[in-house]
């Protein structure tokens, strides 16, 4: 594929420099690709109304054309302009959660190119809660289609360096605002099903959706490539690190014991073992020759979500051949973390007492 020079512009996350924003908007207006921060992860943006520009996203990511993109708007008032009708439920949700990490799947509007929706009758839309993303959409003057700014199947980028690792030379510009504050991708909620259905758990918790909607389904099934894929991101083995990952679920003590036993065996077999733990867990592995990444769990799972992908990338970079990861429960952001780790494990999940 064609390589180009990627221009990197550092930009303040709270008060973005209008000149840098204008420069990025011009790239988008010419059909180019700009990686930019959102509150969840970095996105790889193109003009959502320009089918050719949208095709470039798929090429740069190595993403199959059957996987549709999220359209990012500056506000819900932009929906009618692209022909997307807002059902009453979407209005309620938008009032409550936008700007923020909630993506709504709605019937596609006529101005949305089929390249964006992978030929499908629905479109995913969201209003990101990041000053840089919002300023960029406004300056561009059109909605921005953006998947996470990683090679297809890799971990989503929560820092500019992650974007460069995957896409340097394949994108025109990168706006670097430092680490993204949420760290896991948006919750994808379908409003075209009889009951609103979470297709991908993410930054807005199931509990907070239930509080507003009363009833929410979670498509609990992890789809394989052979099956019909309601949300193609729900493909197994998405979000994968390079090393083989095993996820341990159960009560903390039993999980740590099982992980310890497995680590001892793997090390004895000559494997280089990486552990994904919560702060405070590492003492259970003292004396073992393993690489540890501990993520923050004090006072809720916000810290853990923010650090998750950076920790997994760090284990990959350390050259480990096997990753043992613990589960963080299903409450709040725990569900999104469990979802990403389950996919990274490609079904390799150990359930203990």
- Does residue number 186 form part of the binding site for Mg ion (CB under 5 A)? no
With b meaning 16 or more CB within 10 Å and e meaning fewer, what string describes 262-291? bbeebeeeebbbbbbbbeebbebbeeeebe
Residue from 38, 47, 249, 307 touching ligand TXA (CB under 6 A): that is 38
Name which of 297 and 310 has its Cβ closer to Mg ion.
310
Name which of 148 and 159 has its Cβ closer to Mg ion.
148
What is the closest distance, in whole angstroms, from the C-beta atom of residue 79 to ligand TXA in the complex? 14
Query: How far is Cα 250 from Cα 351, in angstroms, rounded to an integer?
Result: 6
Which entry of ligand TXA, Mg ion, none binds 333, CB below 5 to 8 A by partner kind? none
> What Rg value do the Cα atoms of the chain yield, rounded?
20
- Per-residue x/- track, 136-155, ligand TXA (CB under 6 A): ----------xxx-------
The torsion angle over the Cα atoms of residues 29, 30, 31 and 36, rounded to 10 degrees, is: -60
Query: How far is Cα 254 from Cα 248, in angstroms, rounded to an integer?
Result: 9
What is the closest distance, in whole angstroms, from the C-beta atom of residue 148 to ligand TXA in the complex? 4
Residue given tokens 């921005």 in the structure block: 144
The torsion angle over the Cα atoms of residues 195, 199, 204 and 210, rounded to 10 degrees, is: 20
- Does residue number 174 form part of the binding site for ligand TXA (CB under 6 A)? no
Name which of 68 and 99 has its Cβ closer to ligand TXA.
68
- Does residue number 148 form part of the binding site for Mg ion (CB under 5 A)? yes
- Per-residue x/- track, 233-252, ligand TXA (CB under 6 A): x-------------------
Task: Check: CB of residue 335 under 8 Å from CB of residue 304.
Answer: no
Mode of pairing for the β-strands spanning 70-72 and 144-145 = antiparallel
Residue from 21, 104, 105, 173 touching ligand TXA (CB under 6 A): that is 105
Residue from 27, 32, 40, 209 touching ligand TXA (CB under 6 A): that is 40
Query: How far is Cα 240 from Cα 286, in angstroms, rounded to an integer?
Result: 27
- Does residue number 187 form part of the binding site for Mg ion (CB under 5 A)? no
Q: Which residues contact 305 (CB under 8 A, 6 or more apart)?
A: 182, 183, 184, 203, 333, 336, 337
Name which of 187 and 297 has its Cβ closer to Mg ion.
187
Sign of the dihedral through C-alpha 131, 67, 8, 317: positive
What is the closest distance, in whole angstroms, from the C-beta atom of residue 277 to ligand TXA in the complex? 25
Q: Which two tokens stand for residue 30?
A: 């010419």
What is the closest distance, in whole angstroms, from the C-beta atom of residue 116 to ligand TXA in the complex? 8
Residue from 27, 34, 41, 135 touching ligand TXA (CB under 6 A): that is 41
- Does residue number 158 form part of the binding site for Mg ion (CB under 5 A)? no
Which entry of ligand TXA, Mg ion, none binds 122, CB below 5 to 8 A by partner kind? ligand TXA
Q: Exposure of 167 by Cβ count < 10 A (0-12 exposed, 13-18 middle, 19+ buried)?
A: buried
Name which of 62 and 250 has its Cβ closer to ligand TXA.
62
Element housing 17 (H / E):
none
Q: Which residues contact 99 (CB under 8 A, 6 or more apart)?
A: 39, 75, 127, 128, 129, 130, 134
Piece of 228-236, 256-264, 295-303, 312-320 that binds ligand TXA (CB under 6 A): 228-236
What is the closest distance, in whole angstroms, from the C-beta atom of residue 111 to ligand TXA in the complex? 15
Name which of 70 and 174 has its Cβ closer to ligand TXA.
70
Positions touching ligand TXA (CB under 6 A) are 38, 40-41, 43, 67-70, 101, 103, 105, 117, 120, 122-124, 128, 146-148, 185-186, 188, 199-200, 231-233
Positions touching Mg ion (CB under 5 A) are 148
């Amino acid at each position: 594929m064609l390589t180009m020079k990627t221009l990197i512009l550092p930009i303040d996350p709270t008060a973005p420099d209008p000149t840098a924003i204008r420069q990025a908007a011009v790239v988008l207006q010419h059909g180019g690709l700009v990686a930019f921060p959102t509150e969840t992860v970095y996105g790889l943006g193109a003009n959502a109304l320009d089918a050719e520009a949208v095709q470039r996203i798929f090429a740069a990511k190595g993403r199959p054309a059957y996987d549709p993109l999220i359209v990012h708007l500056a506000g819900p008032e932009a929906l009618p302009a692209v022909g997307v009708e807002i059902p009453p439920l979407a209005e309620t949700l938008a009032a409550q959660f936008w700007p923020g990490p909630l993506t709504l799947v709605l019937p596609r509007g006529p101005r949305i190119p089929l390249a964006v929706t992978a030929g499908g009758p629905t479109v995913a839309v969201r209003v990101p809660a990041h000053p840089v993303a919002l300023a960029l959409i406004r300056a561009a003057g059109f909605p921005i289609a953006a998947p996470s700014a990683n090679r297809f199947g890799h971990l989503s980028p929560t820092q500019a360096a992650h974007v460069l690792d995957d896409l340097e030379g394949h994108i025109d510009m990168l706006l670097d605002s430092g680490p993204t504050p949420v760290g896991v991708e948006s919750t994808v909620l379908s409003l075209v099903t009889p009951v609103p259905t979470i297709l991908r758990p993410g930054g807005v918790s199931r509990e907070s959706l239930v509080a507003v909607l009363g009833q929410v389904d979670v498509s609990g099934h992890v789809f394989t490539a052979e099956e019909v894929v309601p949300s193609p991101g729900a493909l197994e083995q998405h979000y994968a690190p390079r090393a083989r990952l095993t996820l341990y679920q159960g009560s903390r003590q039993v999980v740590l014991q099982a992980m310890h036993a497995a680590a001892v065996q793997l090390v004895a077999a000559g494997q280089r073992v990486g552990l994904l733990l919560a702060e405070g867990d590492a003492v259970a592995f003292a004396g073992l020759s393993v690489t540890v990444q501990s993520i923050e769990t004090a006072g809720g799972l916000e810290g853990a979500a923010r650090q998750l992908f950076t920790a997994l990338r760090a284990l990959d970079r350390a050259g480990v051949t096997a990753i043992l990861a613990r589960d963080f429960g299903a409450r709040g952001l725990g569900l999104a973390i469990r979802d990403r780790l389950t996919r990274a494990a490609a079904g390799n999940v150990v359930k203990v007492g």
